[in-house]
Structure 1
Amino acid sequence: MKNFILALLSGFILALGWPTYGFPLLLFIGFVPLLLMEHRVRTSSVGWKKLVVFGYSYIGFVIWNYITTNWLQYADVFGASFAILVNSLLMALMMVLYHSVAKRATRNISLLFIMCLWMAFEKLHLGWDFSWPWLNLGNGFSEYITWIQWYEYTGTFGGSLWVWLVNILMFKAVLTYRIAKSVQPLKKEGILIVSLIVVPILISLGIFHSYKMEGTPVNVIALQPNIDPYSEKYDVPNEAIADLLLKLTDTKINAETDLIVAPETVFADNVKISQLEDMYFKRKLDVYLSEHPKTNLLTGISFINFITDSAQIKEQSNKHSSGFWYDDYNSAMLLNQSDSVQLYHKSKLVVGVETLPYPEIIKPLIGDFMIDLGGTLAMKTTQEDREVFTTDNKNLIAAPIICYESVYGEFVTGYVRNGATVLAIITNDAWWGDTQGHKQHLSLARLRAIETRRDIVRSANTGISALINAKGEITSSLAYNTQGALSGTLISNDKISFYTLAGDYIARIAIFVALFVFLITMFRRSRVF
């Protein structure tokens, strides 16, 4: 029963520490009950210890995953169930691996292993086909941006390292107390724990209050059309969408407006790339921009490209029931008066909605299964490089970040390394309704601002659209489920943060350490406790 209670405690503590409603100080003790549970099992006479550790860990992680990400069910129940249950399973396996090492290594070595192993797991979640980095620990501080200004040097893995270091010291302090039955020996540990929490926050506060917004002011508008994707979006012709966007723009535009940003796939009626210039809605936009020659329009659009040459068929290409092949794109385009159309195709795709993971394995088992969220039910085709959009303002180069891409720190730095001076996030968070989903997604964008030291303009179909400065502060926003336009000024700059250059170096070091410790300890006999 004690082990069960410990597992429950970890699950609830981690959940209560999560944004946007939680207090992240709780994350510093979230893993302590699970570590105590594993220690109790390892030092007991119970059989099937690995299975016991897995079972209790799984209970705790399911609680954490369900409370924080159950909003996925409003888009698709199967997808939500898969994400919650499988992610919890992977987390529980981390505890089993820790248990295996802890039987053979010293306490400090085994705790070093679980810390590095967890960060290696988080790094895996950023890159493999089942990518789901939503619960990476460094994301947990997204609402407390004054604590983590040093993310410009470490990225979110600095936060993950921070969380684990404090949890480990807390766990060791509890074990010390259980042996000594007194708080006297804990004074030194207590000072170290408090210092490890307080000093990074103080450093961050110093950076926050001394940071200077340097660069060129640019005037932007974020559009929020508030179109219901379940009942309207894919039934409204692109011409009508263009009229709505221009109507909203008229409420805010002036002679100084540099950039207008519209949401992801707002032009949802698939357009053949080769026919874009001949589309009536495109001509409407061109006429409007000719009347506002300083202004640039960055918008989401759904493209399709029919393949006539079999040599052009890619792994992500789709075969229609009629036999022909085509590529389906979730794209961003930039229009202005001086350049040809600039395009970028979304490259971090939502599993099960936009891409089928490991198709060579999955297709033979379940066929071409994809979750239907409206529109064209097909795998999306991506591109290799992070495209940036040049504008008529030489000081403004925009990164067209599409929806889910904004969750990936190192991925976003690719836009900045390619010259982006402002981040433009276009998204459609309406699938989840008025839940924590769209709130958490907005909150994670604040981390990208700090990591890259770039201002952000965020256009979300149903909200929350927002302007975010390089310190991660939301300077203005439009409420969820409202229609309107948001205007304001961003600072465009070309400075490069350390994290932009170095990327997830902490995770790479952690992978090396975890692998080294695992290989060394697995050749040892189990220790006697």
Structure 2
Amino acid sequence: MKLFKNTFLSATLTGLLLAASWPTYGFPLLIFIAFIPLLMAEQNIRVSGTQKKLRVWANAYWAFLIWNLITTWWLINADLFGMLFANLVNTLLMSLLFLLYHSIAKRVNQILSLIFLITLWICFEKLHLIWDFSWPWLNLGNVFSDYPQWVQWYEFTGTFGGTLWIWIANAFGFYALVQNLSRKTAQFILIISIPLVLSLWMYTTYHSTGKTKEVIVLQPNVDPYKEKYAIPNLEVARGLLQQTDSLITPNTEYILAPETVLAQNLPFGNFEYSEVRSLLRDYIYLHPKAQFLWGIDSYDLVYDSKEVTPSSNFVRDNLWVNNYNAALFINRNPAYQKYLKSKLVVGIENLPYKPILEPLIGNLMIDLGGTISTKTTQKERSVFTGDDGTKVAPVICYESVYGEYVTGYVKNNAQFLAIITNDAWWSDTQGHKQHLSLAQLRAIETRRDIARSANTGISAFINQKGDIISRTQYNEKTALRGLVHLNDVKTFYVRFGDYIAYAALPVMIVLFLFGITRRKKSPSYYWPR
């Protein structure tokens, strides 16, 4: 089509449409046509002259660079190198996917090549959820996070259902344009509207279930760059309890404070005898129902090489240290419960593929204050047990971006999700707003209420439908009280996880092997004349 003859403008349009659809400023309906200009550009290049691969890659890189930079430029507030690495490398990976699609599209018919692209993209998104360079922020299913009414069926599919929906719409729209099938407009509208109508029906008919618990979420609003790591833990704890005093009632049972709010490194073994522990014991004596779920920066020393793990940090001969970003749960029980954050931020909390890279480049970690070292994780998702047997999931910061990961808490019988985070690194940008909105998807997938405590915004309560019931503002010292429902039902997605991605992998492999064994087709085979 003449409209898409200028491939550079087509690629630019794709990048802008993707960015304009993204939360929390965009409108996600645009994403159902966002890839069509880039697909048309690839098609035009495929039937054109020389340097086809280079042109396809360059156009794709430009489109995805626009999308990445507009949506996640705010990473620069934490670290310039981290922002450049995340955006440039993620853009490169996306563009290479498109180049691989181009190679297969030259050998098979249009429908098979589009199915290959869809399954390839889904597998790429799954890779971004599990490998050491994990960065799933721009996984397509996340685009609806600000519109939870549109994707209530995520309780069955997770975000991969959204990715599949988006790609089916784009592929169908592109195919109809290529084949000049103007009569397919109605079918294109149905592809978008049927899942949407189904979701709206689910939204109106679903009601939060389970008995309720009263929760307070604290927002201390401490500057992590200048103040956080200089304030003694005891002073921090006193300040948090003063905030709690303004809202606590005889019915309050859970008091949440942000990730690493106790920031002065303290060995786990010493916490039981610390002044903070004594202060909290005294508070519980005055408020017997009170139970604390707080974040802490902690560590353990390791002297036995047999106990060293890949994430242990070497100090000197016969001495290693395990550093933790952890959650503590403290109530009337003499022993406290703990959980170690296990989905770590790349370059800040872990060095990817440390056994391979550290001998080559050293401990190249980004300094955001506190301890500059790889954090030690745990295999299982711990669930904290309250005085009356209530189960709460301690989800720490970045972990709330991972759908199947969060289901691990629910499989271990978590009845509501407690997210503790520190969103101050990105200043007042889209970063902390997008992070909050992604939590809305976790509520739908698991049908669990969420209580969210953020250091400097946004703290919130989210219901089982993904609605934000109440919230704070950014950059204010405050606290919020609300109710959470306790749900014991495990959704289809909780039980089966990212099955769409697992199903996509063999399909992608078969189509790839089929494609590379075929001869290249003449342009008339895939481009109607």
- Indicate which of 7, 17, 22 corresponds to 2:21: 17
345-354 or 293-302, larger mean C-alpha shift: 293-302
Q: How does 1:456-471 map to 2 (within 5 A)?
A: 456-471=450-465
Aligned counterpart, 1:443: 437
Work out the CA distance in 2 between the residues paired with 1:452 and 1:294. 27
201-210 or 440-449, larger mean C-alpha shift: 201-210
1:175 Cα deviation from its structure 2 partner = 1.3
Deviations 1:333-385 (CA, angstroms, capped at 9, x unpaired): 10000351000000000000000001233223321100000001110000000
Work out the CA distance in 1 between the residues paired with 2:91 and 2:333. 51
Aligned counterpart, 2:199: 204
Paired letter, 1:507? A
Aligned counterpart, 2:169: 166
Does the 8 A contact of 1:294 with 1:393 survive in 2?
A: no
Alignment of 1:5 onto 2:48:
no
Does the 8 A contact of 2:303 with 2:318 survive in 1?
A: no
Work out the CA distance in 1 between the residues paired with 2:298 and 2:427. 26
Q: State percent identity of aligned pairs.
A: 53
Aligned counterpart, 2:358: 363
Paired letter, 1:120? C
Deviations 1:112-166 (CA, angstroms, capped at 9, x unpaired): 0001100000000000000000000000000111110000000000000000000
Alignment of 1:81 onto 2:76:
no
Aligned counterpart, 1:379: 374
TM-score (normalizing by structure 2): 0.97
Aligned counterpart, 2:132: 129
Aligned counterpart, 1:515: 509
Work out the CA distance in 1 between the residues paired with 2:256 and 2:163. 33
Alignment of 1:454 onto 2:448:
yes
1:69 Cα deviation from its structure 2 partner = 0.2
Q: How does 1:5-154 map to 2 (within 5 A)?
A: 5-45=9-49, 47-154=50-157
1:93 Cα deviation from its structure 2 partner = 0.4
Against the structure 1 CA distance between its residues 462 and 322, is the aligned structure 2 distance closer, same or farther, given a 3 Å change threshold?
farther
Work out the CA distance in 1 between the residues paired with 2:51 and 2:302. 55
Aligned counterpart, 1:214: 209
Work out the CA distance in 1 between the residues paired with 2:334 and 2:163. 43
Against the structure 1 CA distance between its residues 173 and 401, is the aligned structure 2 distance closer, same or farther, given a 3 Å change threshold?
same
Alignment of 1:419 onto 2:423:
no
- Indicate which of 210, 225, 228 corresponds to 1:230: 225
Deviations 1:438-472 (CA, angstroms, capped at 9, x unpaired): 00000000000000000000000001000000000
Paired letter, 2:43? H
The alignment's C-alpha RMSD in Å is: 1.1
Paired letter, 1:105? V
Paired letter, 2:14? S
Work out the CA distance in 2 between the residues paired with 1:323 and 1:479. 48
Does the 8 A contact of 1:7 with 1:37 survive in 2?
A: yes
1:493 Cα deviation from its structure 2 partner = 1.0
Work out the CA distance in 2 between the residues paired with 1:126 and 1:349. 11
Work out the CA distance in 2 between the residues paired with 1:136 and 1:410. 13
Classify the secondary structure of the residue corresponding to 2:465: coil
Q: Which runs of 5+ in 1 are unaligned?
A: 178-184
Paired letter, 2:471? S
Aligned counterpart, 1:182: none
Work out the CA distance in 2 between the residues paired with 1:213 and 1:138. 23
Aligned counterpart, 2:182: 186
Paired letter, 1:101? I
- Indicate which of 302, 312, 319 corresponds to 2:314: 319
Work out the CA distance in 1 between the residues paired with 2:334 and 2:182. 66
1:275 Cα deviation from its structure 2 partner = 1.0
Work out the CA distance in 1 between the residues paired with 2:521 and 2:334. 69
Paired letter, 1:332? A
Work out the CA distance in 2 between the residues paired with 1:464 and 1:10. 31
Against the structure 1 CA distance between its residues 339 and 157, is the aligned structure 2 distance closer, same or farther, given a 3 Å change threshold?
farther
Classify the secondary structure of the residue corresponding to 1:158: helix
- Indicate which of 492, 503, 507 corresponds to 1:498: 492
Paired letter, 2:445? E
Deviations 1:41-94 (CA, angstroms, capped at 9, x unpaired): 11112x232121111100110000000000000000000000000000000000
- Number of aligned positions between the proteins: 519
1:324 Cα deviation from its structure 2 partner = 2.8
Classify the secondary structure of the residue corresponding to 2:452: strand
Aligned counterpart, 1:181: none
Paired letter, 1:496? K
Work out the CA distance in 1 between the residues paired with 2:289 and 2:368. 37
Work out the CA distance in 1 between the residues paired with 2:334 and 2:443. 28
Work out the CA distance in 1 between the residues paired with 2:388 and 2:203. 29
1:512 Cα deviation from its structure 2 partner = 1.3
Classify the secondary structure of the residue corresponding to 1:44: coil
Classify the secondary structure of the residue corresponding to 2:178: helix
Aligned counterpart, 1:404: 398
Does the 8 A contact of 1:421 with 1:492 survive in 2?
A: yes
Q: Which runs of 5+ in 2 are unaligned?
A: 524-529
Aligned counterpart, 1:474: 468
Work out the CA distance in 1 between the residues paired with 2:290 and 2:487. 19
Paired letter, 1:37? A
Against the structure 1 CA distance between its residues 339 and 30, is the aligned structure 2 distance closer, same or farther, given a 3 Å change threshold?
farther
Work out the CA distance in 2 between the residues paired with 1:460 and 1:339. 27
Does the 8 A contact of 1:295 with 1:392 survive in 2?
A: no
Aligned counterpart, 2:526: none
1:474 Cα deviation from its structure 2 partner = 0.3
Work out the CA distance in 2 between the residues paired with 1:52 and 1:324. 53
Deviations 1:156-179 (CA, angstroms, capped at 9, x unpaired): 0000000000001111122133xx
Does the 8 A contact of 1:416 with 1:452 survive in 2?
A: yes
Paired letter, 1:107? Q
Classify the secondary structure of the residue corresponding to 1:278: coil
Alignment of 1:253 onto 2:256:
no
Does the 8 A contact of 2:305 with 2:318 survive in 1?
A: no
TM-score (normalizing by structure 1): 0.97
Aligned counterpart, 2:478: 484
1:323 Cα deviation from its structure 2 partner = 7.1
1:214 Cα deviation from its structure 2 partner = 1.4
